[in-house]
């Protein structure tokens, strides 16, 4: 039976380091890290995530600001807000919650956030820095950064000789995750919806990272015995066993069958999800430390 990787516990450790670094900034510079989170519209899941981010930012001792804009906000109004936040010296990190309503151009907004305050790690400057191995001055996207900490917790810092397969190729997750694995010396394959024979590609993976957005797609016979599995999916499915109309969360990996084959595996919930929020806090304290010229904490 696989070891279940506890993302909540790992996230608590990150948060403890963030809180300490935040307190040190305040005592040395009299400044608290400032995080602005922008949400547009009324998507229920997005509001839950943003509320969790704001709560955690306060717990870390940050100056936490939330801008909730109506669903009919124009591109111009959203860009004006982001420009104001870019210019505000009290704000060290800016995050625009995704997805944005369809009439808005997410890419334009993402690229408008100044790269030094881009705590989501989505600006092309930060994406380029990960691609070129510059982890000293860039900011890494939160979910891949958190997933990578879980991989290293299971396998150590050097992944030399290990085959890693990432299923999914988004800018938010798949591409940066593949680059982080490569930087740790893994031999990386990127697979996606157009890949032929996903099962046999996955069967070769010592590290299997699933970010496909399809409930329990990865089955036990796709998994190499002893592999480390990181499940990035968060899918809500009907759970009639809990009562009529009830739902439950599952990942992209069929957990119950895969844990019998894998060496270690992240659960959903309680795996990668909590790490996403913890790494947002980590990026914010890193951005604030750089802006204020103090020693940058390591995660
Ligand atoms: N601007 C961004 N937008 C979005 C991101 C992001 O990183 N930046 N990621 C996702 C959503 N997300 C954060 O925003 C997120 C998703 C899930 C969790 C989490 O802790 N999940 C829990 C379960 C929560 C539940 O019960 O629903 C878990 O897995 O244990 C945190 C953050 C899309 N948008």
What average pLDDT score do residues 169-182 get? Answer: 96
What average pLDDT score do residues 255-263 get? Answer: 98
Residues 6 or more apart whose CB falls under 8 angstroms from that of 45 comprise: none
Is residue 70 located within the same domain as residue 153? no
Is residue 232 located within the same domain as residue 159? yes
Is residue 50 located within the same domain as residue 171? no
Is residue 137 in some structural domain? Answer: no
Cα–Cα separations (whole angstroms), residue 8 to 110, 169, 172:
28, 26, 21
CATH number for 77: 3.40.50.10860
Strands 207-210 and 187-191: unpaired
- pTM, 2 dp: 0.97
Is residue 156 located within the same domain as residue 110? no
- pLDDT given at position 171: 92
- Nearest atom in ligand 1 to the alpha carbon of residue 48 is 27
| Residues 12-39: tens digit of each pLDDT | 999 999 999 999 999 999 999 999 999 9
- pLDDT given at position 181: 98
Sign of CA dihedral 205, 206, 207, 209: positive
| ipTM value > 0.90 | yes
- pLDDT given at position 105: 98
Is residue 13 in some structural domain? Answer: no
Rounded distance between C-alpha atoms, residue 261 and residue 223, angstroms: 7
Known binding-site residues equal 168-170, 234
Is residue 293 in some structural domain? Answer: no
58 is catalytic: no
Rounded distance between C-alpha atoms, residue 231 and residue 258, angstroms: 11
- pLDDT given at position 202: 98
Q: Phi and psi (nearest 5°) for 199?
A: -55, -45
User: Ligand 1 centroid vs 276 CA: distance in angstroms?
Assistant: 6
Structure tokens at 143: 């979910």
Is residue 12 in some structural domain? Answer: no
Task: Identify whether the C-beta of residue 164 lies closer than 8 Å to the C-beta of residue 228.
Answer: no
CATH number for 174: 3.40.50.720
- pLDDT given at position 274: 98
The DSSP code for 137 is T
User: 140 in ligand 1 pocket by Cβ < 6 Å?
Assistant: no
Domain that holds residue 71: 30-115
Is residue 126 in some structural domain? Answer: no
Is residue 95 located within the same domain as residue 154? no
Is residue 111 located within the same domain as residue 155? no
| Residues 200-254: tens digit of each pLDDT | 999 999 999 999 999 999 999 999 999 999 999 999 999 999 999 999 999 999 9
Is residue 146 located within the same domain as residue 267? yes
- pLDDT given at position 127: 96
Rounded distance between C-alpha atoms, residue 182 and residue 145, angstroms: 13
Is residue 88 in some structural domain? Answer: yes
Is residue 203 located within the same domain as residue 95? no
Structure tokens at 267: 């659960």
What average pLDDT score do residues 175-195 get? Answer: 96
Of 14, 12, 32, 13, nearest in space to 22 by CA: 32
53 is catalytic: yes
Site to probe by mutation for ligand 1, drawn from 41, 96, 276, 278 as the one with most ligand atoms within 8 Å of Cβ, is 276
Is residue 147 located within the same domain as residue 245? yes
Give percent of the chain with pLDDT exceeding 90: 99
Is residue 61 located within the same domain as residue 100? yes
Residues 6 or more apart whose CB falls under 8 angstroms from that of 169 comprise: 175, 190, 192
- pLDDT given at position 166: 98
Beta strands in the chain (DSSP E): 3-4, 34-40, 63-69, 93-96, 163-167, 187-191, 207-210, 228-231, 235-238, 247-250, 264-265
As for how many domains the chain has, the answer is 2
- pLDDT given at position 116: 98
Is residue 257 in some structural domain? Answer: yes
Is residue 135 in some structural domain? Answer: no
| Residues 100-144: tens digit of each pLDDT | 999 999 999 999 999 999 999 999 999 999 999 999 999 999 999
Rounded distance between C-alpha atoms, residue 173 and residue 191, angstroms: 13
| Residues 51-71: tens digit of each pLDDT | 999 999 999 999 999 999 999
| Average pLDDT taken over every residue of the chain | 97
Is residue 184 located within the same domain as residue 267? yes
């Amino acid at each position: 039976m696989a070891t279940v990787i506890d993302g909540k516990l790992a996230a608590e450790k990150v948060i403890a380091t963030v809180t300490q670094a935040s307190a040190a900034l305040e005592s040395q510079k009299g400044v608290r890290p400032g995080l602005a989170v922008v949400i547009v519209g009324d998507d229920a899941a997005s509001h839950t995530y943003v509320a969790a981010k704001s709560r955690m930012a306060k717990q870390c001792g940050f100056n936490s600001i939330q801008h909730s804009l109506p669903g009919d906000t124009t591109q111009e109004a959203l860009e004006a807000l982001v420009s104001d936040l870019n210019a505000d010296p009290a704000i060290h990190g800016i995050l625009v919650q995704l997805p944005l309503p369809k009439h808005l151009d997410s890419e334009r907004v993402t690229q408008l956030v100044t790269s030094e305050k881009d705590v989501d790690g989505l600006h092309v400057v930060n994406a380029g820095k990960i691609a070129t191995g510059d982890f000293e001055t860039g900011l890494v996207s939160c979910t891949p950064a958190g997933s990578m900490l879980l991989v290293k917790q299971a396998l150590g810092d050097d992944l030399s000789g290990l085959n890693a397969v990432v299923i999914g190729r988004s800018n938010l997750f798949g591409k940066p995750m593949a680059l982080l694995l490569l930087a740790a010396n893994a031999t990386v394959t990127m697979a996606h919806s157009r890949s032929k024979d996903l099962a046999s590609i996955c069967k070769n993976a010592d590290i299997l990272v699933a970010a496909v957005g399809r409930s329990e797609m990865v089955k036990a016979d796709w998994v190499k015995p002893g592999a480390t599995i990181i499940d990035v999916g968060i899918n809500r499915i009907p759970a009639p066993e809990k009562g009529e109309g009830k739902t439950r969360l599952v990942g992209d990996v069929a957990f119950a069958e895969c844990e019998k084959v894998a060496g270690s595996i992240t659960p959903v919930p309680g795996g990668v999800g909590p790490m996403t929020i913890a790494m947002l806090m980590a990026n914010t304290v890193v951005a604030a430390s750089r802006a204020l010229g103090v020693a940058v904490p390591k995660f």
